[in-house]
Every structure is written in structure tokens, then in C-alpha cells.
Amino acid sequence: MRSTNTHPRVRRAAAVAVAVLGAALITAPATSTAAASSPCTSKWTAVQRIAVRKPAWNEGAVATTHSPIVRHLRRGETVTSCIVAVGRGGWSEYHECGGGSLWRIVPGGQVPAGCLTRSAKS
């Protein structure tokens, strides 16, 4: 059976930590909820025909060059994307559109970031 008695120093350190965190939360500036909940409006245009890939169940959060292809973006097709996934080398690096390991998250999956350019009508 586990003892419920804790050392006085541990209790004192926990009390100090709670007090500091509580003070930080009270004095923290309020953030605008409108900015946090605003919809994504960043528009991106495909430079060339490129595969939209979705990571497999065992690949983690970032697509790789071996991830299953969901569909293709046509050259000139405009998509909405506000998030970039960063691969850490290996198979998450792509060679299309100049190469790299940044993947933009688009509806349906992920696309190499180098294959998209910022659309003028964003």
C-alpha cells in the first residue's frame, strides 16, 4: 500500500509551483477569441500537377514520398491551406518542385510546400 504522507519540501515546492502558475494565469493578457476562431482563408495555387498524399497509419503526422496518393492537384488549381507540416528528413523529403521537407496541409491530405505558390486572391 502506498503512503499518502509526503516530505514537507515536496509539499512546499508544489505549493510554490501552484502559486506561480496561478499568478501567471491571472496576470496573463486576454487573447482575442475572434482571432483564434477565424476560419482559414490562405489560398495557394499548384505550380504543376502534384500528388496529394495522406500519411499511412504507421507513418506519423507528416506525409512521406511513400504515403498513399489520395488525388492529384491540377496545375493552376487553388486550394486552402494554413498549416505546414515539417518532416525531419528521410522519406519525408521530396524531390519535386525543388525538394525540401515542408508539406502544406490541404483538404484531403498533404502536398509538398514547394509545389504551391501563394495565390493573389487570398
Q: What is the per-residue pLDDT across 35-66, written as a single tens digit (0 to 9) for each? A: 566 788 889 999 999 999 999 898 888 888 88
Q: What is the per-residue pLDDT across 53-104, written as a single tens digit (0 to 9) for each? A: 999 898 888 888 889 999 999 999 999 999 988 887 776 778 778 888 898 9
Residues forming beta bridges with residue 72, ordered by sequence position = 51
| Helices then strands, each counted (H, E), the chain | 2, 8
Residues forming beta bridges with residue 2, ordered by sequence position = none
